[in-house]
Amino acid sequence: MSLRINSPKPTTFAVFASAVILFTPILCCASPIFYSVNRTVGIGTVTGFIETDGTLGVLSAANMVDWSISLVVGSDHYDLFGPLSGNNSTAYVQGVDLTANPTQILFNFDGNLGFFLLQYGVGIHDGFHYYCDANYNGICLPGETDSPEYFLNGQTVPRSGDVVIAGPESVPEPGSCGLLLTGLGLLTQKRRVVEFLRGADR
């Protein structure tokens, strides 16, 4: 008795598998990335997290999805919350000096007319509480600034070169990537079984 196996044509399978392989990186890169913040600025500390939309390379304010940053200098303390965590502050970015890779956010203190500012309120001049990285004397002092209570006890430290202002955060693999890779593996296994059975039928 002849065993017949109904299976997709190899061309159909190849096209589908290729599409999955091509679109997997796109979906993965679209996933948010969490970065941990743990900075010492003079006698102050800046701790918490920053979440981006997954963009790598130069970052803009639009790439900042959320944050929760605790500013501490001595007895002064203030928490800055992003849109998903309390929404009491705003992110501002000028220039091309704020960049990201998969595990770090960096600021180039040797750049030109750039700054990264997380500040209480919704207007750029509302800030009595803020964290700032700047490479010129403009909206902030040059260097890294931790200011929980405006200029009363703020700390500004000169910096140079590319400085990691946020580092790796342990986050599970995005679900969309995991599901797609699992599906591709199952399709590959199915094809092998089909080819084995077809060979046994000859």
Q: Which residues of 67-97 are buried (b: 16+ CB within 10 A; e: fewer)?
A: bbbebbbeebebbbbbeebeeebbbbbbbeb
- Asked whether the beta carbons of 108 and 136 are under 8 A apart, the reply is no
Residue showing tokens 């092998």: 192
In this prediction, residues 115-121 reach a mean pLDDT of 94
Sheet of 162-168, strands arranged across? 57-58, 98-100, 105-108, 162-168, 33-41, 44-52, 64-73, 76-81
pLDDT at position 125 over 90:
no
The CA-atom distances, in angstroms, between 119 and each of 124, 178, 196 are 8, 36, 63
pLDDT at position 132 over 80:
yes
Give phi and psi for 180, each to the nearest 5: -65, -40
In this prediction, residues 178-192 reach a mean pLDDT of 47
pLDDT value for 110: 98
Cα separation, 92 vs 124, in Å, equals 8
pLDDT at position 23 over 70:
no
pTM check: above 0.75: no
The CA-atom distances, in angstroms, between 154 and each of 103, 105, 127 are 28, 23, 12
Cα separation, 28 vs 78, in Å, equals 34
In this prediction, residues 4-22 reach a mean pLDDT of 49
Residue 39 one-letter amino acid: R
Among the listed residues 77, 198, 45, the one whose alpha carbon sits nearest the alpha carbon of residue 148? 77
Domain boundaries, the chain: 10-29+174-201, 33-168
pLDDT value for 128: 81
pLDDT at position 15 over 60:
no
In this prediction, residues 8-21 reach a mean pLDDT of 48
Question: Rounded to the nearest 10 degrees, how much is the dihedral formed by the CA atoms of 42, 56, 82, 133?
Answer: 30
Both structure tokens of 161: 């070169």
